[in-house]
């Protein structure tokens, strides 16, 4: 069963990144290797403008489930952008065991 | 070479004659005796920000706040009169009145009254005791004498503050002084898309304020956040503030920006270019904002962010692109504190807006994690006492002022409280 809108069927292999909580997205990043994140990045980054054009047609408070999943995929792109574009590693350099938990975020 | 003008005295530090330029001791961040003094002299005496009015949208809305430094838990509630604060203690036998599952965890919600889990004593939203289980078993009990103990509570610009000093007479507005007055009118209440973060930090509470009250560290500790070429440039350039202001116990640093949007798109990472957002937030303002006088005091065109330190433990950062961030540092021991950060944006109008905010929040976390870990390294080495005097430069003026202010509150407390003894940090 497709999780994403039909226009974005090419991104279906990455729907395990559709995670609603920031802490879960961050944990998945820390549990992934660079090859996995690079593959995800290379697939979703080039489709970002298409995805936003698609999503911007909806009222944010009334997103269909597949559109919401697409948005979550792009939240995850934000989460992994630093490892891919800057750190070249999943972890924040010199962050050791430090942990910052997200305790509140907008509903969507 | 200075890129931005300094006061006529030649430095920001010397512009404020109460500040010295000598090496500084950090005994105040490692002495357990001094921490005990700070708990009483600072956290027991000053106005503490506990949240914003938007957290209490209607009559009956409440949240609790654990303030370990004051050994207190407080209920903040909206009732028919407005917003009030009470000690979170049942008047019967001292049970914590409002909590869910875990007594030490904060909670929030909506209630018509508060009912103690232990013996079902009830209190209305104004704190009055309205019901006592088996009242006739007590001895001439007058419920009117058993209202919840109130905590002073006042509001400035939608920010809710409490003060544990029952005998204090200084109003919140008087305490916050001219720096806060100069911030009035900023559209705080319109920025209701909130991202909150929390972290347990293994360092004295003042050390994290130190980290956020100077940007001298930014081009070095955070060098890999920028593109390689940009990072080299930033490090060579170093950091100079546009302005520093000190008013009583409070202070601010005004900083340049330039990344929102950058002069050259190659200065920022691909996702920032593609989304038009980054550390300084979404590049396009949500609406026109007229800056109140305390913001960008140098009226510099390169202005990026102003960071206000409201003593003791509350910071507000207002960013040029039209959003703000708050930090709180709640001590739990001489070498531990709970750090809270909250990012406040205007509500996203569409998915693009929302994704821009998401990347700004994600970026904040990357920086915050580096800062947080560095603090533990600092705390442990200070505790070694291998070195006891540290030079602070002119861009670290707010640190000097913070530690000096905190020590002055403790010294005043020792002077005016019978039996109080000075700590090693005061001698």
**Per-residue pLDDT, B415:** 97
- In the predicted model, what is the mean pLDDT of chain B? 94
**Per-residue pLDDT, B119:** 94
- Find the residue in A nearest to B369 (Cα): A95
**Per-residue pLDDT, B139:** 97
Q: Would the CA dihedral through B148, B154, B160, B164 be positive or negative?
A: negative
Contact B359 A108 (CB under 8 A): no
Q: Over range B341-370, report the average pLDDT.
A: 96
Give yes or no for A65 touching B (CB within 8 A).
Answer: no
Q: Over range B109-137, report the average pLDDT.
A: 97
CATH class of B12-42+178-416: alpha beta
Contact B355 A75 (CB under 8 A): yes
For residue range B179-233, what is the model confidence (pLDDT) as tens digits? 999 999 999 999 999 999 999 999 999 999 999 998 888 777 777 766 777 777 7
What's the whole-model pTM score? 0.95
**Per-residue pLDDT, B335:** 97
Contact B269 A108 (CB under 8 A): no
Can you name the residues that pair with B309 across neighbouring β-strands? B251, B315
Distance CA B393, CA B205 (A): 21
**Residue B373 contacts by C-beta under 8 Å, 6 or more apart in sequence?**
A94, A95, A96, A97, A98
Contact A49 B194 (CB under 8 A): no
Distance CA B52, CA B192 (A): 10
Residue B180: C-alpha distances to residues B248, B251, B309, B375 (Å): 11, 10, 10, 28
Give yes or no for A8 touching B (CB within 8 A).
Answer: no
B12-42+178-416 and B48-164: identical CATH topology: no
Chain A: give the shortest CA distance to residue B50, in Å: 16
Find chain A residues with C-beta within 8 A of B349's C-beta.
60
- At residue B1, does pLDDT exceed 70? no
Domain map of chain B by residue range? 12-42+178-416, 48-164
Instruction: Assign B371 a pLDDT band (cuts: 50, 70, 90).
Output: confident
Percent of the residues in chain B that have a pLDDT greater than 90, as a whole number: 85
Q: Would the CA dihedral through B266, B271, B272, B274 be positive or negative?
A: positive
Segment holding B353, helix H or strand E: helix B351-383
- From chain B residues 352-371, the ones with a CB under 8 A of any chain A CB are 352, 354-355, 357-359, 361-363, 365-366, 368-370
Nearest C-alpha neighbor of B55 from the set B166, B130, B160, B162: B160
- Ranges of chain A whose pLDDT falls below 50: none
Domain map of chain A by residue range? 18-87
Contact A100 B199 (CB under 8 A): yes
Chains A & B: contacts with CB separation below 8 Å: 116
Tell me if the domain spanning B48-164 has CATH number 3.40.50.150: no
């Amino acid at each position: 069963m497709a999780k994403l809108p039909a226009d974005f069927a090419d991104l279906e292999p990455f729907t395990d990144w559709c995670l609603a909580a920031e802490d879960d997205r961050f944990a998945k990043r820390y549990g992934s290797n660079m090859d996995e994140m690079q593959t995800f990045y290379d697939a979703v980054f080039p489709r970002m403008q298409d995805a936003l054009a698609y999503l911007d047609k909806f009222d944010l408070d009334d997103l269909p489930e597949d559109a919401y999943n697409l948005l979550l995929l792009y939240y995850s792109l934000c989460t992994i952008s630093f490892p891919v574009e800057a750190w070249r590693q999943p972890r924040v350099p010199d962050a050791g065991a430090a942990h910052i938990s997200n305790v509140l975020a907008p509903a969507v | 070479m200075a890129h931005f003008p300094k006061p006529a005295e030649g430095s920001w530090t010397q512009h404020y004659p109460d500040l010295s330029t000598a090496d500084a001791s950090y005994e105040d961040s490692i002495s357990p005796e001094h921490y005990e003094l700070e708990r009483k002299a600072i956290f027991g005496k000053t106005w503490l920000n506990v949240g914003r009015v938007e957290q209490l949208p209607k009559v009956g809305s409440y949240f609790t706040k654990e303030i370990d430094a004051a050994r207190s838990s407080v209920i903040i509630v909206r009732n028919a009169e407005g917003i009030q604060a009470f000690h979170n203690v049942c008047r019967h036998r001292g049970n914590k009145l409002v909590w869910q599952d875990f007594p030490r965890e904060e909670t929030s919600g909506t209630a018509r009254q508060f009912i103690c889990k232990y013996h079902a004593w009830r209190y209305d939203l104004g704190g009055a005791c309205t019901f006592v289980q088996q009242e006739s078993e007590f001895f001439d009990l007058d419920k009117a004498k058993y209202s919840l103990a109130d905590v002073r509570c006042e509001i400035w610009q939608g920010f809710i503050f409490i003060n544990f000093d029952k005998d204090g007479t200084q109003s919140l507005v008087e305490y916050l002084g001219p720096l806060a007055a100069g911030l009035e009118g900023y559209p705080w209440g319109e920025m209701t898309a909130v991202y909150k973060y929390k972290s347990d930090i293994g360092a004295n509470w003042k050390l994290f304020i130190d980290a956020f009250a100077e940007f001298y560290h930014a081009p070095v500790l955070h060098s890999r956040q920028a593109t390689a070429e940009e990072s080299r440039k930033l490090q060579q350039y170093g950091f100079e503030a546009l302005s520093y202001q000190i008013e009583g116990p409070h202070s601010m640093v005004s900083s340049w920006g330039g990344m929102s949007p950058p002069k050259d798109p190659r200065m920022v990472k691909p996702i920032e270019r593609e989304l038009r957002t980054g550390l300084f937030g979404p590049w396009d303002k949500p609406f026109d904002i007229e800056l109140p006088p305390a913001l960008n005091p140098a009226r510099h065109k390169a202005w990026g962010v102003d960071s206000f330190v409201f003593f003791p433990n509350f910071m507000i950062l207002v960013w040029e692109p039209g959003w703000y961030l708050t930090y709180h540092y709640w001590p739990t021991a001489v070498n531990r504190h709970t750090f809270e950060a909250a990012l406040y944006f205007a509500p996203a109008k569409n998915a693009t807006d929302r994704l821009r905010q998401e990347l700004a929040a994600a970026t904040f976390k990357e920086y915050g994690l580096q800062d947080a870990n560095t603090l533990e390294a600092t705390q442990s080495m200070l505790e070694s006492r291998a070195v006891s005097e540290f030079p602070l430069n002119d861009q670290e003026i707010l640190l000097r002022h913070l530690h000096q202010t905190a020590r002055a509150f403790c010294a005043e407390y020792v002077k005016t409280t019978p039996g109080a003894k000075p700590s090693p940090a005061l001698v």
